[in-house]
């Protein structure tokens, strides 16, 4: 890791680069540039990309583990409060919209007019927000890389009726 950070400090001009937000900004910028077929710096080889991705993933894993450890020690309570703070606001908004849509399916009141007509409700989010949302949902990192969602990744929440009960399908 130290060799990678020293190399990146040299080629990017960031003095004494550390595994913090500056590192993430550099990596994110390079991934976005590739996505848009822009010319990448010559130093950004496949090997460097893999090393950066590995470090980026470890940084995110560490942050999630740190939050979970603090909660296990009951420093902030063991009810998942910090996890919910990171991804919970957007999750609560999604749950609220789904709940209101469900409640309004068979309700003709004026407060339900908008919800009855809506077929799609979209939000846009950064990869770190999607990652936090996946963690808040309790998605297992063995099934997918929750710490490094692809640029342009999409999560969709679909509301269904099954035996007259609400059913939500989450797609990635």
Residue 171: beta bridge partners? 156
How do residues 69-104 score in pLDDT, each as one tens digit? 555 555 444 455 555 566 777 888 899 999 999 999
pLDDT at 51: 94
pLDDT at 75: 45
pLDDT at 108: 87
How do residues 131-144 score in pLDDT, each as one tens digit? 778 877 877 666 66
C-alpha gyration radius of the chain: 20
Q: Name the stretches of the chain with pLDDT < 50.
A: 75-78
pLDDT at 48: 95
Long-range contacts of 124-131 (CB under 8 A, 24+ apart): 125/90, 127/28, 127/151, 127/153, 128/60, 129/87, 129/90, 130/155, 131/60, 131/87
For the chain, give percent helix, strand, coil, nearest 5.
55, 10, 35
pLDDT at 161: 92
């Amino acid at each position: 890791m130290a060799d990678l950070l020293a190399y990146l400090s040299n080629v990017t001009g960031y003095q004494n680069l550390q595994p913090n937000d500056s590192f993430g900004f550099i990596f994110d910028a390079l991934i976005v540039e590739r996505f848009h077929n822009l010319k990448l710096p010559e130093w950004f080889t496949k090997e460097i990309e893999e090393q950066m991705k590995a470090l980026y993933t470890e940084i995110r894993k560490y942050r999630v583990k740190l939050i979970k450890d603090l909660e296990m020690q009951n420093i902030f309570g063991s009810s998942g409060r910090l996890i919910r703070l990171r991804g919970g606001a957007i999750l609560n908004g999604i749950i609220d919209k789904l709940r209101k849509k469900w409640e309004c399916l068979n309700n003709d009141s004026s407060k339900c007019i908008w919800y009855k007509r809506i077929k799609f409700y979209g939000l846009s989010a950064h990869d770190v927000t999607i990652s936090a949302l996946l963690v808040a949902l309790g998605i297992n990192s063995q099934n997918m890389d929750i710490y490094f969602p692809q640029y342009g990744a999409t999560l969709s929440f679909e509301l269904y009726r099954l035996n007259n009960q609400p059913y939500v399908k989450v797609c990635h």
